[in-house]
C-alpha cells in the first residue's frame, strides 16, 4: 500500500534500530479512512477463505481488525490482556512476553467466542518477534479452530516474527514491510 508507506514516512519516527513510533497512525491516533482502506485490502486478500471470525489482541489491533471484519461481514473478537495469571475454565489463556514493554502479560479469549466451528483471520498492527502472535495462534489451536491466515499492517522483516510464523505453514499477508531502521532511516522492502 503506497499510501500507507507515505504516511509512515510523514508521520512515523524512528525510536531506535528496532522500534518505529507510529502512534499518529496505529497506536494512539487512527485515521478512520486509512484504517477502512486497510480493512478492505485484508478482506480482498482473504475473501475466498470462508472466514467466520476475525481475531486480534487489544488494543492497537482492534481498529484494523474491525475494518476487516466489517468488510468480510463477520464478528470481530479481540483477546483481552490481563496483568496477572488467573486460571479460567471458561477461557483460553496464554502467557506472552511484550517486545516494547519488556513485561509478560496473559492474553485470553472466552470459550464462548471461539470454537472448532470457526475459520479465523488473525489481524495485527505490527509484527516484531512474534511472541504475542504465537500466543494467539496457540489459542486458536487450543480452541480447535482453523487459522486461515494472518494479516499484518507493518512487518519488520529484520525481526523474526513473520518468518517463523510462515515457517509454521501459516499464510501471513503484510501491507508494508520494513527491512531496516538503522541510522534513523526507514527502509521499505519491495
Ligand atoms: P510480536 O508478537 O511481533 O513479538 O509482537 P511483540 O510481542 O514483539 O509486540 C509487543 C507489542 O509491541 C505490540 O503491541 C506490538 O505492536 C508492539 N511493537 C513491536 N514492535 C514495535 C515497533 O517497532 N513500534 C511500535 N510502536 N510498537 C511495536 P501491544 O503490546 O500489543 O500493545 P498495543 O499497542 O496493542 O496496546
Ligand atoms: Na502495538
Ligand atoms: Na498488536
Domain that holds residue 38: 2-188
| Model confidence pLDDT, tens digit, residues 36-83 | 999 999 999 999 999 999 999 999 999 999 999 999 999 999 999 987
Pocket flag, ligand 1, residue 8 (CB < 6 Å): no
**Angle formed by the axes of helices 32-46 and 62-72, nearest 10°:** 50
End-to-end, the C-alpha distance of the chain in Å comes to: 11
Q: What average pLDDT does this structure show over 29-39?
A: 98
CB 110 within 8 A of CB 53: no
Q: What is the pLDDT of residue 37?
A: 98
Q: What average pLDDT does this structure show over 125-130?
A: 96
Pocket flag, ligand 1, residue 126 (CB < 6 Å): yes
CATH number for the domain including 173? 3.40.50.2020
Distance, in Å, from the CA atom of 9 to the CA atom of 139, rounded to the nearest integer, reads 35
Q: What average pLDDT does this structure show over 10-35?
A: 97
| Distance in Å, CA 183 to ligand 3 centroid | 25
Q: What average pLDDT does this structure show over 5-30?
A: 97
| Model confidence pLDDT, tens digit, residues 174-189 | 999 999 999 999 999 9
Distance, in Å, from the CA atom of 151 to the CA atom of 94, rounded to the nearest integer, reads 20
How large is the ipTM?
Answer: 0.91
Q: Which atom of ligand 1 is nearest to the CA of 21?
A: 26
- Name the residue with cell 497506536: 27
Number of structural domains, the chain? Answer: 1
Q: What b-and-e string marks burial along 151-181, b requiring 16 or more CB atoms within 10 Å of the CB?
A: bbbbbbbbbebbebbeeeebebbbbbbbeeb
| Model confidence pLDDT, tens digit, residues 81-119 | 987 666 678 999 999 987 677 788 899 999 999 999 999
CB 26 within 8 A of CB 154: yes
Pocket flag, ligand 1, residue 42 (CB < 6 Å): no
Q: What is the pLDDT of residue 13?
A: 98
| Model confidence pLDDT, tens digit, residues 135-173 | 999 999 999 999 999 999 999 999 999 999 999 999 999
Pocket flag, ligand 1, residue 16 (CB < 6 Å): no
Q: What is the pLDDT of residue 85?
A: 61
| Distance in Å, CA 128 to ligand 3 centroid | 10
Tell me if 131 is assigned to a ligand binding site.
yes
> Ligand 1: which of 128, 151, 180, 181 to mutate, judged by most atoms within 8 Å of the beta carbon?
128
CB 150 within 8 A of CB 165: yes
Amino acid at each position: 500500500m503506497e499510501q500507507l508507506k507515505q504516511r509512515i514516512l510523514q508521520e512515523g519516527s524512528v525510536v531506535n534500530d528496532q522500534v518505529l513510533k507510529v502512534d499518529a497512525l496505529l497506536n494512539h491516533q487512527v485515521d478512520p479512512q486509512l484504517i477502512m482502506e486497510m480493512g478492505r485490502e485484508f478482506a480482498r486478500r482473504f475473501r475466498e477463505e470462508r472466514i467466520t471470525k476475525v481475531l486480534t489482541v487489544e488494543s492497537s489491533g482492534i481498529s484494523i481488525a474491525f475494518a476487516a471484519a466489517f468488510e468480510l461481514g463477520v464478528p470481530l473478537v479481540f483477546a483481552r490482556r490481563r496483568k496477572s495469571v488467573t486460571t479460567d475454565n471458561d477461557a483460553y489463556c496464554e502467557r506472552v512476553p511484550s517486545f516494547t514493554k519488556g513485561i509478560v502479560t496473559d492474553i485470553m479469549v472466552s470459550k464462548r467466542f471461539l470454537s472448532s466451528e470457526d475459520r479465523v483471520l488473525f489481524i495485527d498492527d505490527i509484527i516484531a518477534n512474534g511472541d504475542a502472535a504465537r500466543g494467539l495462534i496457540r489459542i486458536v489451536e487450543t480452541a480447535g479452530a482453523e487459522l486461515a491466515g494472518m494479516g499484518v499492517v507493518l512487518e519488520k522483516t529484520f525481526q523474526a516474527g513473520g518468518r517463523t510464523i510462515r515457517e509454521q505453514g501459516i499464510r501471513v499477508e503484510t501491507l508494508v514491510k520494513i527491512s531496516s531502521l538503522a541510522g534513523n532511516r526507514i527502509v521499505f522492502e519491495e
